[in-house]
């Protein structure tokens, strides 16, 4: 089986490469060699690789910058994904497309299922939803959309590594405690993607680690596990603060816990709590 991974330099792309099963022949690429906004490069790579599957882990992910850079965000997350889906259909391949919890507005008080009605409030969320809709319209049953949230890895920039850097240099740290979700180790998500491919799953599914946390809870856990692993040598005060303390251009979902039961069951995944996965990721940093 041949697989083309798009977005190889990102957190998930990097994890997909190192977790790829031995029996799968993969080719990985990223911008500028393959540009979702350029159908020519998409055609070139798909024709060259002739993949059975394409995994799209590429996206415009700067949530706040997207509020001003709307055109670029829309080009990558909607138009680019539409271009890719058209080529996938032409090549008679299959697509696994990664999406986000930001397609929901966060006003619900129970975990969002894949069938819940999306209602994004940010440019990022709206552009990602339009990408989903384009994929569904063009490929119908030959695609799998996986929504995830709060992604981090030992590779790239993310909340965990940013917090560790702050904890090494600041005495007092303020972290929002009103926004609720679930941290997701990209390594676990990558394994879930490969499991879904092996099972030939289609439709829309959700994946994060197990459990629930606020950003404040996540930060406290990062410090405790960081000290335990030896990355940090002391504990700094971490203060819970409301969202209003950190105003941002883009509105974040206040509650973005995703219901993962259908994916865990259909892909045969044994869920791990987010804190256990955080501990494993920090060992890599050590």
Catalytic residue numbers, as ranges: 124
Q: Cα separations (Å) of 32 from 6, 9, 79, 285?
A: 11, 11, 17, 28
Q: Mind spelling out the 3-state secondary structure of the chain? A: CEEEEECCCCHHHHHHHHHCCCCCEEEEECCCCCCCCCHHHHHHHHHHHCCCEEEECCCCCCCCHHHCCHHHHHHHHHHHHHHHHHHHHHHCCEEEEEEEHHHCCCCCCCCECCCCCCCCCCHHHHHHHHHHHHHHHHHCCCEEEEEECCEECCCCCCHHHHHHHHHHHCCCEEEECCCEECCEEHHHHHHHHHHHHHHCCCEEEECCCECCEEHHHHHHHHHHHHHHHCCCCCCCCEEEECHHHCCCCCCCCCECCECCHHHHHHHCCCCCEHHHHHHHHHHHHC
């Amino acid at each position: 089986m041949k697989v083309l991974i798009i977005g190889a330099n990102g957190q998930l792309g990097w994890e997909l490469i190192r977790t790829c099963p031995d029996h799968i022949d993969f080719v990985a690429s990223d911008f500028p060699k393959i540009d979702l906004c350029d159908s020519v490069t998409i055609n070139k790579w798909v024709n060259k690789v002739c993949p059975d599957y394409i995994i799209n882990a590429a996206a415009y992910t700067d949530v706040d910058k997207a509020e001003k850079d709307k055109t670029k965000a829309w080009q990558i997350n909607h138009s680019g994904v539409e271009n890719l889906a058209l080529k996938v259909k032409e090549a008679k391949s299959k697509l696994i497309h990664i999406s986000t919890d930001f397609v929901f507005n966060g006003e619900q008080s129970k975990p969002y299922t894949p069938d819940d009605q999306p209602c994004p409030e940010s440019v990022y969320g709206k552009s990602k939803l339009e990408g989903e809709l384009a994929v569904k319209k063009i490929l119908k049953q030959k695609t799998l959309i996986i929504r995830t949230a709060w992604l981090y890895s030992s590779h790239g920039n993310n909340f965990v590594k940013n917090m560790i850097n702050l904890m090494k240099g600041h005495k007092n740290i303020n972290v929002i405690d009103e926004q609720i979700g679930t941290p997701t180790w990209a390594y676990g998500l990558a394994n879930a993607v490969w499991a879904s491919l092996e099972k030939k799953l289609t439709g829309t599914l959700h994946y994060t680690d197990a459990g629930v946390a606020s950003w404040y809870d996540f930060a406290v856990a990062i410090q405790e596990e960081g000290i335990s692993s030896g990355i940090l040598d002391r504990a700094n005060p971490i203060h819970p603060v409301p969202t209003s303390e950190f105003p941002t251009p883009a509105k974040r979902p206040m509650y973005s816990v995703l219901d993962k039961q259908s994916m865990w069951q259909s892909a045969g995944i044994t869920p791990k709590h987010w804190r256990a996965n955080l501990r494993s990721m920090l060992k890599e940093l050590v």
